[in-house]
Amino acid sequence: MQDVVEKVYEQVVARNRGEAEFHQAVREVLESLDPVIAKHPHYAENALLERIVEPERQIMFRVPWVDDAGEVHVNRGFRIEFNSALGPYKGGLRFHPSVNAGIIKFLGFEQIFKNALTGQGIGGGKGGSDFDPHGKSDAEVMRFCQSFMTELSRHIGPNTDVPAGDIGVGGREIGYLFGQYKRLRNSYDAGVLTGKGLAWGGSLVRTEATGYGTVLFAQSMLATKGDSLEGKTVAVSGAGNVAIYAIEKAQQLGAKPITFSDSSGYVVDEAGVDLELLKQVKEVERGRVADYVSRRPGARLVTEGRPWDVPVDVALPCATQNELDADNAATLLRNGCAVVAEGANMPSTPEAIEAFQAAGILYAPGKASNAGGVATSALEMEQNAGRTRWDFATAEAKLTGIMADIHDSCVEAAETYGRPGDYVLGANAAGFTRVADVMIAHGIV
Ligand code: NDP
């Protein structure tokens, strides 16, 4: 890294001690911005880098709640309002026991550039809690969500900050959160949350958007080589919202996904994933991947290793951060994998990314390839503001257009800065310049 960039990174590490994931996300962006800063010194002169790595506001709060047995629990809630240059803060809420300030900060930081890439008017933010919804009753999840929203409601609003779902936060949680917000504010502000139910302001295609968008991005990358997903085998990790709809779109485009996973292991189904069964197990029954295997002849559960051990043409990591390391990357490359598109946020470690880039395969960072989710959230906000509702085909066509534009912006920026085919540089440079130019226009604020 150039001195000026290295200095900013060192300051981030010193100021945000112990926040390894945040350091990792900042390093990845800053490293790739070297050619941008060299070409446009006014960004450094305006202290753009120092400003963009510092959240505008960080909120941390106590979330007390009572379980079904009457016992009191205390979790920690977070909302990091990172950057509002382009619009209201926008980004999901994650409920997972691993959540801490560093994880929310890394997600919020990535969100700034991702949201800029969509070309829509949305700033970057993220939030969540170390609450674990697994094994909790609906009533416990509801009481937790009500307590969480009691504090969060002071900080959000349709023109201020608009949360959505992420790991552990789906339609059920968004419903409880919205109900409590509406009750506290005595106002039906549909645009305060996205990922809502279709009967109360949600958008068609929001559920599918992140997974669909990831696969559409992979298809666009392959098209640059005159190729497509037709007939390709695919390894998917995760079995949640993103993974399920990545599998669905891959199947629609003629590919054959053969794996998925959760924290109990991964499933290999050489005949191709039975999507209806997977949806039944994960979406309806909230079960584990073993429940799929017990009902699907020929499928097997592997509890050691990761889906990346299975030979495939395409890998779609759709579970969580740092789930694909250097050894996994080496295995994928040895087995002939030629495309990696990230559905999750920062699933590949820096060493894995280096290996993909050195091998010259098609590699898409999550901030570009998984941007379809937030893009469709912005479409939901648009429908809420206009008190209208689009049909599935209209919403999907808009998503498809936005993903194609994101792909093309990445390709163009990579070429502008002298590294054609480098989607990491392309995504970071295109996202950064859009935000940075607006920050300069707004003055020192
Ligand atoms: P879900 O909660 O619906 O699913 C997450 C899946 O990943 C589950 O199968 C879960 O298994 C698995 N998983 C989560 N954490 C771990 C872990 N530490 N180790 C092993 N498996 C794990 O979340 P989403 O599908 O919404 O999110 C998946 C990823 O996509 C995340 O990185 C998220 O930030 C990213 N993303 C999501 C968007 C969205 O619109 N939802 C938008 C953009 C990115 P288990 O149930 O066993 O924990």
Phi, psi of 341 (to 5 degrees): -125, 125
Length reported for the chain: 445
| Tens-digit pLDDT profile for residues 11-30 | 999 999 999 999 999 999 99
Taking the C-alpha atoms of residue 31 and residue 60, their distance in angstroms, rounded to an integer, is: 30
Tell me if 286 CB under 6 Å of ligand 1. no
Tell me if 168 CB under 6 Å of ligand 1. yes
Fold classification of 208-369 is Rossmann fold (3.40.50)
Burial class (CB within 10 angstroms; exposed 0-12, middle 13-18, buried 19+) of 68: exposed
Provide the CB-side half-sphere exposure for 302 (13 A, CA).
Answer: 18
The CA-to-CA distance between both ends of the chain, in Å, stands at 27
pTM of the model: 0.97
Ligand 1 test: best mutation among 24, 94, 130, 167, most atoms within 8 Å of CB? 167
- pLDDT of 246 strictly over 90: yes
What are the distances in angstroms from CA 226 to CA 53, 105, 222, 223, 315? 38, 38, 7, 5, 19
Q: Whose CA is nearest to atom 15 of ligand 1?
A: 320
What's the sign of the alpha-carbon dihedral 353, 355, 360, 361? negative
Q: Which atom of ligand 1 lies at the shortest distance from residue 243's CA?
A: 25
Q: Please enumerate in sequence order all residues whose Cβ is within 8 A of that of 218, keeping only pairs 6 or more positions apart, or say none.
A: 229, 314, 316, 339, 341, 362, 364, 369
Q: Where are the domains of the chain?
A: 58-188, 208-369
Q: Which two tokens stand for residue 193?
A: 């949350």
Q: What was the pLDDT predicted at 432?
A: 98
Mean pLDDT of the chain: 97
Q: What was the pLDDT predicted at 4?
A: 84
Q: What was the pLDDT predicted at 66?
A: 98
Taking the C-alpha atoms of residue 285 and residue 325, their distance in angstroms, rounded to an integer, is: 31
Confidence of residue 2 (pLDDT cuts 50, 70, 90): confident
- Contact between 377 and 195 under an 8 Å Cβ cutoff? The reply is yes
What are the distances in angstroms from CA 30 to CA 4, 77, 175, 365, 431? 10, 28, 38, 15, 12
- Contact between 16 and 82 under an 8 Å Cβ cutoff? The reply is no
**Tokens 């290996």 sit at which residue?**
355
* The CATH number, out of the four listed (3.30.465.10, 3.40.718.10, 3.20.20.140, 3.40.50.10860), of the domain defined by the range 58-188: 3.40.50.10860
Q: What is the mean pLDDT of residues 41-45?
A: 89
Taking the C-alpha atoms of residue 85 and residue 66, their distance in angstroms, rounded to an integer, is: 39
- pLDDT of 280 strictly over 90: yes
Q: Whose CA is nearest to atom 30 of ligand 1?
A: 344
Catalytic residue among 126, 196, 256, 367: 126
Phi, psi of 93 (to 5 degrees): -115, 130
Q: Which amino acid is at 357?
A: Q
Q: Which atom of ligand 1 lies at the shortest distance from residue 239's CA?
A: 9
| Tens-digit pLDDT profile for residues 76-123 | 999 999 999 999 999 999 999 999 999 999 999 999 999 999 999 999
Identical fold, 58-188 and 208-369: yes
Taking the C-alpha atoms of residue 287 and residue 273, their distance in angstroms, rounded to an integer, is: 16
Does the annotation count 126 as an active-site position? Answer: yes
Helix residue ranges, H only, 17-134: 20-32, 34-39, 42-45, 48-52, 101-117
